Amino acid sequence: MLASSARSAFAVVPKRPYICQSCIQKTRLPPLASGRSSIRLTRALHAERQLPNDDSPFRKVLKDAAKKKKKDRKGNSDTSNKAQRGESVQLDKWELTVGIEIHAELNTARKLFSSAATSVSEAPNTHVSLFDAAFPGSQPHFQKEALVPALRAALALNCDIQHKSSFDRKHYFYQDQPAGYQITQYYEPFAKDGHITLYPHDFPPGTATQDAPITIGIKQVQMEQDTAKTVQQPPFTNLLDFNRVSHPLIEIITLPQIHDPTTAAVLVRKIQTILKAVNAVTAGMEMGGLRADVNVSIRERHGQSTGRGLSYSGVTGLGQRTEIKNLASIKAVEDAIIAERDRQIGLLESGGVVEGETRGWTLGSRSTKRLRGKEGEIDYRYMPDPDIAPVIVGNDLIQHLRTTLPQLSDETVNMLVDNKNDYSLTSKDASTLLLLDGGERLDYYYDVVEHLRATFSNDTDTQARLGKVAGNWVLMELGGLVKHEEWSASHVSSNELASIIAHVLRKQITGRTAKLLLSMKFEGDERSVEHIIAAENMLLCPLSRHEYEELARNLIEEKQDVIKEIVEKKRYQKLRWFVGQMMARSAEGTVEPDQAEKVLRDLLHLPPM
């Protein structure tokens, strides 16, 4: 195929060498005496784009090309808008319904039903007990330590802990399940009736739905064992690693109350954040410690429900659902739901029927693919496991775990936004700090604020600004330096950043100097902040009022046209350009931006800042 494409491409290029048309016209000779006409050479690199045969100026050629490109872009935009309008019409007719099942590996030292150690990256089949390999006669031994992180997770998800729970066998035959069944909690899970609330700050900027906050019900949380890991060696070989067999999992099952792909993705991310916050899981999706299955169905908004009007846990009138298995990233959750939604809408619009089935999704794909028919409860032949006794949980344990839970994400965001705590961050900045670097950036921010509060303990007015100022430096200034590197507080310690900020707040150095100082520390300068300021002569030596006015008047005289626009059209934001010029034309550390703008406003008789 590649060779064919190459031949086609070269076939378009003429055999003759390129010769400039204007050069031909200048050097064209009159016909020879033999009467033969001169040969006009042309060159075309593409069949549909030829060089003009006229003598049009090059500037006109460029303008015409730009006009054509703009026209083509407008045509493509109109087509895209029509497609979006068509999609909007479809979504007005059809309602998406999603339920999610999240499987998370619990943070335990041993497996759920054996004393073998849990493992992540050890050599294959090195942590396998007889029961893990389904050796005949081996018995499961429930490791009660696994119950503690499971209970913490359920409490954080606002679930009711059941006094008694039991384990069941879920029968199916597959290569990764040596016993021919999986041990899970189907009839009596250890936690029920939870919920999670999504607030506007949980959503990426500009994506929050109009009905936020949204509360999604959690049907149940159950414990179960993991399966073996399959390592494919194409074309026909599958290797099995039994290290993962019987790893303790919790399965979090939501109610089908999600109607937007973005909401589903945000829900999975928030649950992941909560599980990490209470130290219930080993790792998130990025490390394979958490996987999601999504159940997707479509029904008409203003009419009879599609299919047979199915119901699930009190939610009625649902369409036939399909399940998409093993989604391993937040983006995969959103993209897979969109692809399956569009597939089902297209199928129903064309008169087809949605079949209950299990489907797969590959990152970057535009559609899901069928894996197998969807099994039902009868196919799994659930039965109580006769070898495992019921699990009894006392109220004293529940109360102890409830009172010792760490602060959760919603509480943290509310604290950072609340002005009473002198943090006064925006919801966006607070949620960003919470999500960055597994919470390490938030701990660093707390340390910076504490250092600043100790420094300005006697200055009430400055203390009220410390949280917001520190947030800006941690997220923006320092965040810009670590953008392409792994976060580490060792680059610039919290004490050093607090010292830099303190010098700015005392007006001992300018903001521009502070950024330079921060960059020097980030690059590895081992001198103290105070030593660098003294050695590099960075202390602020402010200009006098007269010097400010003289500098400002020179700029005003140079840019009378811009000044006229600022004064007459009230475009005061352009004063910032003049402030920048005043700083650039002066020695480092002599011009304060606020003072420079104040002088400019006074000279131009503009309202104060």
The least confident of 154-158, 241-245, 504-508 is 504-508
Sequence-separated (6 or more) residues with CB below 8 Å from residue 511: 504, 593
Distance CA 430, CA 424 (A): 9
Q: Does position 306 have pLDDT exceeding 50, yes or no?
A: no
Mean pLDDT calculated for residue range 519-548? 87
Distance CA 14, CA 28 (A): 21
State the pLDDT at residue 435: 77
State the pLDDT at residue 81: 52
State the pLDDT at residue 427: 83
Q: Does position 606 have pLDDT exceeding 80, yes or no?
A: yes
Distance CA 158, CA 255 (A): 14
List pLDDT tens digits, range 69-116. Answer: 667 666 665 555 544 444 566 778 899 999 999 999 999 999 999 999
Highest mean pLDDT among 144-158, 357-371, 398-412: 144-158
Answer yes or no: are the C-beta atoms of 257 and 217 closer than 8 Å. Answer: yes
pLDDT confidence tier of residue 591, bands split at 50, 70 and 90: confident
Distance CA 519, CA 507 (A): 19
Highest mean pLDDT among 354-363, 387-396, 474-483: 387-396
Count of CB atoms situated within 10 Å of the CB of 133 = 16
State the pLDDT at residue 289: 86
Q: Does position 41 have pLDDT exceeding 70, yes or no?
A: no
State the pLDDT at residue 85: 45
CA neighbor of 227 nearest in space, from 111, 109, 363? 111
State the pLDDT at residue 30: 46
Mean pLDDT calculated for residue range 182-193? 96
Mean pLDDT calculated for residue range 525-547? 86
State the pLDDT at residue 52: 44
Coil, strand or helix at 4: helix
pTM equals 0.70
State the pLDDT at residue 589: 67
State the pLDDT at residue 369: 92
The least confident of 125-134, 167-176, 204-213, 467-476 is 204-213
Q: Which residues of 85-95 are buried (b: 16+ CB within 10 A; e: fewer)?
A: eeeeeeeeebb
Distance CA 402, CA 568 (A): 63
Q: Does position 2 have pLDDT exceeding 70, yes or no?
A: no
Q: Is 312 buried (19+), middle (13-18) or exposed (0-12) by CB count in 10 A? A: middle
Distance CA 388, CA 410 (A): 38
Sequence-separated (6 or more) residues with CB below 8 Å from residue 569: none
Distance CA 493, CA 489 (A): 6
State the pLDDT at residue 9: 42
Distance CA 239, CA 123 (A): 13
State the pLDDT at residue 35: 42
Distance CA 359, CA 381 (A): 22
Q: Does position 29 have pLDDT exceeding 80, yes or no?
A: no
pLDDT confidence tier of residue 53, bands split at 50, 70 and 90: very low
Q: Does position 15 have pLDDT exceeding 60, yes or no?
A: no
State the pLDDT at residue 51: 42
Coil, strand or helix at 508: coil
Sequence-separated (6 or more) residues with CB below 8 Å from residue 559: 578
Distance CA 336, CA 327 (A): 8
State the pLDDT at residue 396: 95
Highest mean pLDDT among 41-45, 344-348, 553-557: 344-348
State the pLDDT at residue 203: 86
Mean pLDDT calculated for residue range 497-523? 91
Distance CA 174, CA 178 (A): 8
State the pLDDT at residue 75: 60
**Percent of the chain predicted with pLDDT > 70:** 84
pLDDT confidence tier of residue 207, bands split at 50, 70 and 90: confident
pLDDT confidence tier of residue 43, bands split at 50, 70 and 90: very low
Mean pLDDT calculated for residue range 147-171? 96
Residue 204's identity, in one-letter code, is: P
List pLDDT tens digits, range 563-582. Answer: 888 888 888 888 888 888 88
Sequence-separated (6 or more) residues with CB below 8 Å from residue 79: none
State both tokens at 218: 């959690």
List pLDDT tens digits, range 250-304. Answer: 999 999 999 999 999 999 999 998 998 899 998 878 777 899 999 999 998 876 5
Count of CB atoms situated within 10 Å of the CB of 336 = 28
State the pLDDT at residue 536: 86
User: What value does the mean pLDDT of the chain take?
Assistant: 84
Residue 518: enclosing H or E segment and its boundaries?
helix 511-522
Sequence-separated (6 or more) residues with CB below 8 Å from residue 587: 541
Phi-psi region of 422 (alpha: psi -120 to 50; beta: other; left: phi over 0): left
Answer yes or no: are the C-beta atoms of 454 and 500 closer than 8 Å. Answer: no
Mean pLDDT calculated for residue range 189-211? 87
Q: Which residues of 235-274 are buried (b: 16+ CB within 10 A; e: fewer)?
A: eeeeebbbbbbbbbbbbbbbbbbbebbbbbbbbbbbbbbb
Coil, strand or helix at 198: strand
